[in-house]
């Protein structure tokens, strides 16, 4: 009988590697595709355990006398397939954005599902064999299984701070191979030699002979980084990774980045040189060159996000989501007397504050700027200070917003309770400013407006429309929520700011219908009509009949980016080949497709073999 301590340690290593691989695979697929595959990975892991249980149950008479060999072989194959299946899976020509109109993509998705199922099957086989063949020690084996899973989850998080995702994958494969080696002494001598040779070869290839190109990321061509790198002379300056994301710094000297969301077409200014920062190959932010000359930042007065600075004099500002520092620069340009900037990812803070500090003009060393590490909503909750302006930065990409990739994202920034929290931290007359990408038909803007209306009503405001203003450019909208009613002078400033920059006023207190839809002309004044309806007695009926789900998000259902309605699917699906594909939130299609795959695979790999055996 195999020495128990080796079995327990091998079980611990396999369990650590399996949960680590599950978490890491979510990270890897978030980089090369999008985050929706997290749901698929969870179902894959469960399917692997179920299918391996079926195989063990059916082949127990053969496997039990060869327990050590079966465990060692499964551990070896787990380590090998971890790496091999990631390399193969990246080469499946799956494009999530084509799912709406190209049925072939569902076949490719099935291929990805089956490829990534394999490593989990072998990992589960190791655990299942130990539990089945050593029943007398089942409690101890189960303990080491759970202990390994717990430590493995913590280990991979730490590893991602220290290693690239690809090297973290190698580390997990080494753990699996180590478990296989531990079981080798109990294997019959003749087979043991061959097994140890295979283990040695696999370990050598993994550590020294594996071509880096096999593990290099093959990022979706529709993600922002892939598109940016198509521009002539564009190059990657640096790449950093941690559990919060893969951060890539890109320079484009020939055709420079000009990131200024919502920039007025009337502007006489242009942004200075910029470096782009992509998180997980998308979600672009920029570091803007700043030499201390505020005049070089004049373009920042010609974006919709500059609106609150026209109404406030020397405000104390809280910026939620500092990113590359654009909003901090804007606050400095507009004369903020004090700025608290919150950024979750330490890599972003380091890039702006240290690595490219000279390029950014040592922005974070300004006496007026305080940079805080933390999650935005949690930071606000813990604060006792009050601000004249709380600004929520626009950090997601336009392509991600428009394609529906964020459909299943949880965001506590834009919930009713979140807006209530922000309002509690405003000085009298202070403002909450939120800028979003413009989408037609309106989704983000109206949902945000509805959220603000409900938040104000919950705080006891009888006429929320007197505390709201909404403007839009050709590709962004900015919502202002005031702590108190807008004055006539402030309304005049909003109108003049919008008129001089050819921005459309979508809503302000007592706004006449004729003021809407004057510059960036749409078929109908959708935003004004929607805002007016959301403030009326028929708001509930308007939300119910609207083609998209604009019901305000809550902390219990924090899916602000969820606009999908089943009732609208037949209509939007019929339009998919006539320019209507962008109206379908394809994240839901991926989720539904993977659910169907899991059900079919579960029946085929688990239930059918058991039924046939009977």
Please name which of 311, 352, 357 lies closest in space to residue 334, comparing C-alpha atoms: 311
Query: Is 269 within a domain?
Result: no
Give the number of domains in the chain.
2
Let me know whether 46 and 146 are in one domain: yes
The verdict on 538 and 602 lying in the same domain is: no
- The pLDDT, as a whole number, for residue 399 is 44
Distance CA 525, CA 291 (A): 42
User: At residue 551, what are phi and psi to the nearest 5 degrees?
Assistant: -65, 130
Domain shared by 543 and 605, yes or no? no
**Is the pTM here over 0.75, yes or no?**
yes
Which backbone phi and psi does 435 adopt, to 5 degrees?
A: -110, 135
Domain extent for 168:
4-217+591-613
Last residue of a domain, one of 541, 561, 581: 561
Residues 206, 355: one domain? no
Helix H or strand E encompassing 194: helix 189-204
Structure confidence at residue 575 (pLDDT): 59
Two structure tokens written together for 236: 């990657």
CB atoms within 10 A of CB 521: 9
Contacts for 551 with CB less than 8 Å, ≥ 6 apart: 447, 450, 543
Tally helices (H) and strands (E) across the chain: 22, 12
Q: Which of 349, 257, 264 is nearest to 305 (CA)?
A: 264
The whole-number pLDDT of residue 593 equals 76
Q: What is the pLDDT of residue 42?
A: 84
- In this prediction, residue 583 carries a pLDDT of 58
Instruction: With beta carbons less than 8 A apart as the criterion, state whether 138 and 219 touch.
Output: no
Distance of CA 84 to the CA centre of its chain: 26
pLDDT value at position 405?
A: 46
Residue 267 is assigned to a structural domain of this protein: no
Same-domain check for residues 73 and 187: yes
Residue 581 in domain: no
**Residue 455 belongs to what H/E stretch?**
helix 444-458
Query: How high is the pLDDT of residue 188?
Result: 84
The answer to the question of residue 122 being in a domain is yes
For residue 348, give the CATH number of its domain: 3.40.50.150
Closest CA to 531 of 520, 555, 515: 515
How far apart are alpha carbons 102 and 261 in whole angstroms?
32
The parts of the chain modelled with pLDDT lower than 50 are 1, 397-405
Q: How far apart, in whole angstroms, are the C-alpha atoms of residue 275 and residue 256?
A: 9
Q: Classify residue 242: in a domain, yes or no.
A: no
CA-atom Rg of the chain in angstroms: 28
Establish if 287 belongs to a structural domain. Answer: no
What pLDDT score does 402 carry?
A: 41
Q: Residue 156 domain-assigned?
A: yes
* 209/328 same-domain check: no
Backbone angles phi, psi at 18, to 5 degrees: -65, -50
For residues 499 and 608, membership in a common domain is answered with: no
């Amino acid at each position: 009988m195999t020495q128990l301590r080796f079995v327990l340690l091998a079980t611990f290593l396999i369990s650590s590697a399996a949960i680590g691989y599950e978490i890491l695979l979510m990270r890897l697929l978030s980089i090369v595709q999008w985050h929706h595959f997290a749901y698929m990975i969870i179902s894959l892991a469960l399917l692997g355990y179920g299918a391996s249980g079926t195989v063990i149950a059916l082949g127990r008479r053969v496997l039990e006398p060869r327990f050590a060999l079966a465990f060692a072989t499964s551990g070896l194959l787990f380590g090998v397939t971890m790496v091999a299946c990631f390399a193969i899976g990246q080469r499946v020509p799956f494009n999530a954005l084509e799912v709406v109109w190209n049925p072939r993509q569902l076949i490719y998705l099935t291929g990805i599902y089956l490829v990534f199922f394999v490593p989990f099957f072998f990992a589960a086989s190791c655990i299942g064999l130990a539990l089945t063949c050593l029943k007398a020690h089942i409690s101890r084996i189960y303990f080491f299984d759970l202990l390994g899973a717990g430590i493995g989850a913590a280990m991979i998080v730490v590893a991602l701070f220290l290693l690239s995702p690809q090297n973290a994958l190698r580390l997990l494969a080494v753990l699996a191979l180590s478990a296989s080696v531990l079981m080798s002494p109990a294997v019959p001598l003749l087979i043991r030699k061959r097994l140890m040779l295979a283990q040695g070869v696999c370990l050598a290839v993994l550590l020294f002979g594996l071509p880096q190109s096999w593990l290099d990321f093959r990022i979706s061509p529709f993600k922002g980084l892939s598109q940016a790198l198509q521009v002539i002379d564009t190059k990657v300056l640096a790449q950093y990774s941690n559990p919060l994301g893969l951060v890539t710094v890109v320079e484009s000297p020939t055709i420079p980045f000009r990131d200024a969301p919502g920039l007025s077409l009337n502007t006489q200014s242009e942004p200075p040189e910029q470096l782009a920062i992509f998180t997980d190959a998308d979600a672009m932010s920029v570091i803007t060159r700043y030499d201390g000359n505020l005049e070089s930042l004049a373009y920042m007065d010609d974006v919709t996000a500059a609106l609150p600075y026209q109404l406030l004099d020397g405000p104390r500002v809280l910026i939620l989501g500092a990113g590359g520092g654009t909003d901090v620069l804007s606050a400095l340009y507009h004369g903020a007397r004090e700025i608290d900037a919150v950024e979750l990812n330490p890599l972003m803070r380091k890039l702006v504050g240290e690595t490219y500090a000279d390029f950014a003009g040592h922005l974070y060393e300004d006496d007026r700027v305080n940079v805080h590490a933390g999650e935005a909503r949690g930071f606000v909750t813990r604060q006792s200070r009050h601000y004249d302006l709380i600004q929520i930065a626009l950090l997601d990409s336009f392509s991600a917003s428009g394609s529906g990739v964020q459909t299943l994202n949880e965001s506590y920034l834009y919930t009713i309770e979140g807006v209530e929290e922000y309002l509690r931290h405003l000085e009298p007359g202070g403002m909450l400013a939120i800028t979003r990408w413009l989408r037609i038909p309106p989704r983000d803007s109206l949902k945000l407006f509805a959220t603000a209306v409900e938040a104000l009503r919950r705080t006891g405001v009888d006429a929320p429309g007197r505390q709201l203003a909404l403007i839009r450019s050709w590709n962004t909208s900015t919502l202002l929520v005031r702590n108190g009613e807008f004055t006539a002078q402030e309304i005049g400033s909003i109108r003049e700011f919008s008129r001089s920059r050819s921005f459309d006023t979508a809503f302000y207190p007592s706004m006449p219908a004729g003021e809407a839809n004057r510059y960036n002309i749409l078929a109908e004044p959708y935003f004004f009509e929607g805002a007016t309806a959301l403030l009326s007695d028929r708001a509930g009926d308007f939300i119910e009949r609207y083609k998209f789900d604009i019901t305000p998000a809550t902390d219990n259902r924090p899916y602000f980016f969820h606009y999908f309605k089943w009732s609208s699917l037949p209509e939007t699906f019929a339009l998919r080949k006539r320019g209507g594909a962008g109206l379908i939130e394809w994240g839901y299609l991926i989720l539904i497709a993977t659910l169907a795959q899991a059900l079919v695979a579960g029946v085929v790999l688990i239930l059918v073999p058991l039924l046939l055996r009977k």
